Amino acid sequence: MFAQYHALKAASPDCLLFYRMGDFFELFFDDAKAASATLDIALTSRGDGIPMCGVPAHAAEAYLARLIKGGHRVAIADQTETPAEAKKRGGSKALVARAIVRIVTAGTLTEETLLDARAANWLVAVAEAGGAIGLAAADISTGRFEMAVASPATLSAELARLGAAETIVAEGADHGLEGAIVSLSGGFDSASGEKRLKALFGVATLDGWGQFSRAELAATGGLLAYLDRAGQGSLPFLQPPLRRETADHMMIDAATRESLEIVCAQNGARAGSLLDATDRTVTGAGARMLAADLGAPLTDRAAIGARLDLVSLFHDESGLREGLRTRLRAQPDIARALGRIVAGRGSPRDLGQLRDGLDQCYPIHASLDKLADRAALLGGLSPRLLGHGELVDRLSRALVPVPPVDAAQGGYIAEGYDAALDALRDAGGQGRKAIAALEASYREQTGIATLKIRHNGVLGYHVEVAANRADALMRPDSGFTHRQTLAGVVRFNAPELHEVAIRVGQAGAHALAAEAAHLEALTEEVLAAKAAIAATADALARLDVAAALAERAAEAGWCRPNLVEHSCLEIEGGRHPVVEQAVARTGGRFVANDCNLSDGDRLWLVTGPNMGGKSTFLRQNAAIAILAQAGSFVPASRATLGIVDRLFSRVGASDNLARGRSTFMVEMVETAAILAQATTRSLVILDEVGRGTSTYDGLAIAWAVVEAVHDRNRCRCLFATHYHELTRLAGRLDALSLHHVRAREWKGDLVLLHEVAPGAADRSYGLAVARLAGLPPLVLARAKDVLKRLEAGRQATGGIAAGLDDLPLFAAAIAAEPAPDPLRTALDSIDADALSPREALEALYRLKGIAGE
């Protein structure tokens, strides 16, 4: 056995080997140690000391999910013959043949239980050829397949858009990628890719799908080679490749996606993201499509307009929208059911899901067909819902209402579909009745009231009695033959039982074979219609997205954006959907703000206190641009936008310790990328550039960045800062205007108004915010003193730090000044405007105590 095991393990040395032994998948040696640690199951050993652990075959999916999540890859070595077939082939000691039937990896999952129903699962291959970088990406759970060319500057942005579950590269290459990368030897060449692609789709030329570069074909070669290995020669369902041009969608790099929390929050969860705040879809397929739309907003006005037209239709027709959403809620995920069937992992239940989902398309089409005068707005979606009548009829007649997942036990073909199958089932049923009658006869014959006829996979049908009643059946003339003695029971055979069992077994086996033949025929019919079924699934998802966006717009008063050719960002009453939703939960009200970036006023310098809303204002305008170009209404009372080709966000502080980068280093790397890549059609939001270093260095960098964005990039930009010195640039940079978030101090308290107004802030209110944060009074008092010296020095000499010869603060202050007067220190710590009458009285008594001391 271990010779067989080691041969299988050698074929997939980079995987944990699931070795089928009866009802369990067993793991041995180091695989067992790794699996037991990940799964938290007992590690045992064989008599020869070999480590081992195992999981039940019927529950293998749950364990696979945990192993994949733990970063492992698993090779499934299953039995390819039954023990009876092995015995017939090689005698009683013959080893059951086994083979690796599949390799399970994060990017090759199709099972419902292993996938997030509302998220795509991309496998991406990256290759370099002809001086370019090619990408080939597939979500084999739905068949989506696309190819693209990237440059070194845009590669990370494209990979961030896809959010691959697994990325594969040629052996020895890494392309500067981070994260889990799988190396594959062989297959990464354009000739191999072109040949495999033609063979997959049975075509002589690829011209019908576009002109693919060598790099794209090389990446495709690697992708298909990897899928071929994972499926052990069986390729999954792939739709014809979609060639995606990088100019077709808004480029958003990984740092910007994380900063804006587009499809997931910075903690990795969906909650708190723009997607979560926008998503009102009612199907998994719709949720996946919406995530893809937000992850890659379009740059073509006509395509965006078509999406917005569909949203407008459902926004205006509330009755149609609600009826459609009600029907869609009952839709099974036919895209993923089809993916499992094509991959050879389908079940009778998957066929049932296709039947039910395709059948429900007809009332959906009928409801849409009533809008004949607005058919153009449907963009050809409605016809794609039809054409499956014959397949639906066949599946409806052939399958029981709720087919099982496991085909091995049968019971999924409906009664009346096949007369011969019905006859076999009747024979089996009559046989089971005969066995029940035989059991009653044996009880009367032997006088043993507890005698039972049982069945198992080893003995088949047999008689079972309690051990203390077995003597009567042991006699030679009893008519029973002893088969097995266990603790407490003894098992026997009998001639009449044997004959009946043969009839039952033959009928059951023939019935299972007949059902399997029907399952194969039905599967073939589905495979013949796979392209049309996939098109229907996409149409349903697009309808779900449009209706969901209309629902979101109706519930929150979002408006349809106007997309124009010239560069502008004109927002009236703009809101941040995530923050607004969070504020609403607490009973608060979000303060809307306007933004107007145009050629003559394209750079806003925004000042004001921390917590005043600067970062939210910056992010909400970026979010509005994303939503608009994704084809959604936007959270504003009016919005006119020029197409954004690239979106950049440098908001928030983080470090990258794994790569040896400090917070400031990360900030500078991201800022450098913006200055190198932003065009006149880009939108840039920058928050507190330069804050991670000394005051002089930071101010100098921020000053230079503002000038570069204004003079060289000439893009639309929102720049938030606490460096008030930058406001002087308004006198020299003609397209820069000053704005601030409003705040007031009232009776010692800071009131944040969250309103954006013209002009520069009068101050930063840093000490007021520090007091809100609970900074100790003595520290606040010292800070006030330092601030006075700074401001006095700046007014006298123009220097930021003039007059502060006693820094660092505390050590130098003690050395340069006499010991502080305790009474004066206590007085300085009192904010008279902020005291209640009781606090004032307590302060007076405290001062008297100090004076007395």
Strands (E), 681-805: 683-687, 716-720, 736-746, 749-758
Distance CA 802, CA 787 (A): 11
What are the φ and ψ backbone dihedral angles of 15, each rounded to 5 degrees?
A: -120, 155
Backbone φ and ψ for 254, nearest 5 degrees, come out as: -60, -40
Tokens of 151: 């440059």
Q: Which tokens sit at 721?
A: 């800062």
668 annotated ligand binder = no
Distance between CA atoms of residues 294 and 631, nearest Å: 9
CA dist., res. 338 & res. 566, Å (int): 44
Tell me which residue of 227, 134, 142, 232 sits closest to 184, measured CA to CA.
227
SS3 call for 526: helix
User: Which phi and psi angles does 639 have, rounded to 5°?
Assistant: -150, 125
Asked if residue 609 belongs to a known ligand binding site, the reply is: yes
Amino acid 500 reads: V
Q: Cα–Cα distance between 438 and 430 in angstroms, integer?
A: 12
Backbone angles phi, psi at 24, to 5 degrees: -130, 155
Lookup: tokens for 258: 């994380």
Report the candidate in 740, 794, 795, 786 with the shortest Cα–Cα distance to residue 763: 740
- Does the annotation place 92 within a ligand binding site? no
Task: Tell me the CA distances in angstroms from 802 to 158, 787, 793, 799, one per residue in order.
Answer: 49, 11, 4, 5
Q: Contact 706/729 with Cβ under 8 angstroms?
A: yes
Phi, psi (degrees; rounded to nearest 5) at 176: 70, 20
> 202 labelled as ligand-binding?
no
Q: Give the integer Cα–Cα distance in Å for 851 and 819.
A: 16
**Residue 722 CA: distances (Å) to CA of 190, 626, 788:** 53, 27, 18
Amino acid type, 821: D
Element (H, E) at 484: strand 481-485
Report the 10 Å Cβ neighbour count for 128. Answer: 19
- Tokens describing residue 153: 């500057």
Contacts of residue 1, Cβ cutoff 8 Å, sequence gap at least 6: 95
Q: What crossing angle do the helices spanning 334-342 and 530-556 adopt, rounded to 10°?
A: 150
For the chain, what is the radius of gyration of the CA atoms? 36
In angstroms, how far is the first alpha carbon of the chain from the final one? 91
What are the structure tokens assigned to 732, written together?
């020299």
Contact 632, 311 (CB under 8 A): yes
Q: Is 87 annotated as a binding residue?
A: no
615 is in an annotated binding site: yes
| 6-14 contact pairs (CB < 8 A, 24+) | 8/75, 8/77, 8/98, 8/99, 8/100, 11/75, 11/100, 12/75, 12/100, 12/103, 14/73
Give strand pairing partners of 438.
Answer: none
How far is 846 from 180, CA to CA, in rounded Å? Answer: 63
Cα separation, 732 vs 707, in Å, equals 10
Binding residues, as ranges, are: 608-615
Binding residues for ATP, as ranges, are: 608-615
